[in-house]
Amino acid sequence: MAFSLNVSRFTNVLRSRLALMTEITDVYRPHITIDKEKLIGLIKEKAEAAAKSELAKKMKVLKGFYVAEFKPPLSLPPRPAELNKLLADLKLTQEFFKNKCYLYITVRQAWLLFLVCFEVWMWFFIGETIGKRHLVGYKV
């Protein structure tokens, strides 16, 4: 059933491509005469039809995701004060693990650290879900 559906779809696409090729070859015959006005009109008509197609709509949505995802942050480059604070925090974290201070934290502190990490982790996933406007995957 699925195979016959794919074959019929393929034949329909093939027929439309052949019809387009015969239309263009009927208009453009370089060895006889060139009817430039008719050729330009045909190309414009086909370009307008392609711009209104389903693929063009999907490409527009894909471009929107591309622009949104790969746009740099607004505060570039980072300020020196931000970099100094980041380096100080990284150094403090490195010393925390180097001196094995994690062995001496209480259960309450560990639970609070876990909740903070879980909250940041959920920010990422909820932000991704909001950004793609879909639960499972990007709607392209």
Instruction: State phi, psi for 34 to the nearest 5 degrees.
Output: -110, 120
When the pLDDT of each residue in the chain is averaged and rounded to a whole number, the result is 78
Instruction: State phi, psi for 57 to the nearest 5 degrees.
Output: -65, -45
When mean pLDDT is compared across 68-72, 95-99, 110-114, the lowest value belongs to 68-72
**Confidence grade of residue 90 (pLDDT, cut at 50, 70, 90):** very high
Residues 6+ apart with CB under 8 A from 28: 34, 35, 39
Q: What is the pTM of this model?
A: 0.35
pLDDT at site 24 = 63
> Does residue 26 have a pLDDT over 80?
no
